Amino acid sequence: MSGRLKLAASFAICFLASSGIAFAQQQVIGAPPEALNMKLVGTSDLQARSAYQPTIHHQGDRWIAYIGHHGGSDEVPAPVNPHTGKAEPNGTSIVDVTDPSQPKYLRHLPGQEGKYEGGGAQMVRICDGKALPKGDRNAVYMLRTFGGKAHEIWNVADPTGPVLITRIAGLKDTHKSWWECDTGIAFLVSGAPDWRTRRMTQVYDLSDPAHPQKIRDFGLPGQEPGSTGAVPTELHGPISTGPSGNRVYFGYGTNKGGILQIVDREKLLNGPKEPTPDNLRSPEIARLTMSPFIGAHTTFPMPGMPIAEFARDKDGKTRDIVMIVNESILNECNEPRQMVWFADITVEKAPMMISSYTVPEASGTFCERGGRFGAHSSNESMAQVFYKKMAFISFFNAGVRALDIRDPYHPREVGYFIPSITAATDKRCVKIDGKDRCKVAIQTNNVETDARGYIYIVDRANTGLHILELTGPARAVAGLP
């Protein structure tokens, strides 16, 4: 090869390589989604509102998606609702997803004024009135946060015309609560004004949503009013297994100082309620203190999992597992990796991490794509279609990842879907030499599933709702036809 030819070949290789890398790093409007064993069924733009949490409810003969939103952005604090023609602070989107290929946007219910996490109505849970012990049998109740200041319950039996039932207000902050539909007991992530932490638990009896009955305040010793010294990590969210499981799994921390706390539900509800250190310690069975590098955004229990590898063992062939999902906070990998962890809590007094999962960064050069890269949350539906078989993890700019968790000692990715960006997708910035350097990328924030096997992901950067289904080998893992 001549010298000139070598030079030309080198330039060509460099050009092709650099353009390939650039394509891998940066999403482009009009480019197809990136997917493996998952495909797009339908979308809704959610009026270009930043989305936190979707909850899917089988309501009569319809399937309704309730989607909580963060507050607006600096550029657009209150997007215009095309249905009303008015600028409305972000709140709750209500979408009919009965036909997932044709989602129908029914209603936007405004939330608290304010930007980003300072406004909106991020969290939403739904219970049928006929399931609640003292509910109106014709009602469908939506529990949502109202910014950080309050919890609200609405009757959404007519999803196009929600009616406010009650409000629990006067709080410092709120977040990802849990509501047991069969008992009405709610573990509300609140910020009681006199507690030393921004978020703690207020346990309520919401069996009659029109008349909330407070049971007690709860948190880690050191967070209670009047205490001194170091303040433990603030709560992110609990998940209860109800009276039958008699456990509540509390996750503390987002991207730092994570703690999984295992609590005896019966003792929590019926034990001494004054928030003294002893009374706060009393219902705790154990806690798993994680690395200070990671938090506990979601603590998803999966008790009694049969482990194929242990099938012939005389003891320990089933294990109680909690999947712990950290939350990535900082853009462009400016923090330790936030990922997914599996804890074996079969011996509750000695919970132990047994495995972990993360998206390989190099598989998409995700640290360079813009926005957050890392885990945020998992689906929380316990419907049989996926429970203890598959988990879906929102991973911000790496979209949603489908994991085969039948052997939680060896979780395995079997699919993923990274939606295309659109003109609505908002930028994410980092400081470089004192100036903002911004990129546009998908920011898949939360994921939920329904009993039919559809997967719903929502975008923090305003790209909307994507409804997905599994294909190929991933479908077989779930046992779907």
Partner 1 sequence: MRRWPVIVVAAAALGALSCAVAYQHIVPRQDEQQGEQDGEPKGSWQEIAWSFPRDGWPAGRAFRCRGASCGDGIEVYVRPKIGFCNCDRGVADDDEVDRVADLDLLSEHFTPIEAGDVISVADMPGRSRAYDLEMTGGTRHAAIGIAVSRRCDLLVAVAHGKGDAMSVRRGALALLGETEMTRWMMAAMEGR
Q: How far is the CB of 337 from partner 1 (least distance, A)?
A: 13
CA angle, 352 as apex, 235 and 246 as ends, to 5°?
A: 60
DSSP lists the bridge partners of residue 396 as 373, 444
231 binds partner 1 (CB under 8 A): yes
170 binds partner 1 (CB under 8 A): no
- Dihedral sign, Cα of residue 420, residue 423, residue 426, residue 431: positive
| Binding to partner 1 in span 184-213, by CB under 8 A | 195-198
Cβ-contact 26, 436 below 8 angstroms = no
Nearer Cβ to partner 1 (68/129): 68
In DSSP notation, 112-150 reads: BS-BGGGSEE--EEEEETTTSTTS-TT-EEEEEEETTTE
Hey, what's the torsion of the CAs at 334, 75, 398, 145, to 10 degrees?
A: 90
5 binds partner 1 (CB under 8 A): no
CA angle, 191 as apex, 252 and 78 as ends, to 5°?
A: 100
Nearer Cβ to partner 1 (100/232): 232
Q: How far is the CB of 71 from partner 1 (least distance, A)?
A: 8
Q: How far apart are CA 470 and CA 342, in angstroms?
A: 23
| Binding to partner 1 in span 404-433, by CB under 8 A | 430-431, 433
For residue 157, which phi and psi values (nearest 5 degrees)?
-55, -40
Q: How far is the CB of 172 from partner 1 (least distance, A)?
A: 8
| Binding to partner 1 in span 280-299, by CB under 8 A | 292-293
Residue indicated by tokens 């493996």: 36
Q: How far is the CB of 413 from partner 1 (least distance, A)?
A: 27
Cβ-contact 299, 251 below 8 angstroms = yes
Among residues 24, 34, 59, 118, which is the contact residue for partner 1, using CB under 8 A?
118
Among residues 10, 18, 19, 334, which is the contact residue for partner 1, using CB under 8 A?
334
399 binds partner 1 (CB under 8 A): no
Among residues 208, 284, 335, 361, which is the contact residue for partner 1, using CB under 8 A?
335
Among residues 230, 308, 311, 362, which is the contact residue for partner 1, using CB under 8 A?
230
Count helices and strands in the chain by DSSP H and E runs: 5, 34
329 binds partner 1 (CB under 8 A): yes
Cβ-contact 181, 203 below 8 angstroms = no
Residues in contact with partner 1 by the rule CB under 8 A = 114-118, 172, 195-198, 228-231, 234, 255-257, 292-293, 329-330, 334-335, 430-431, 433-434
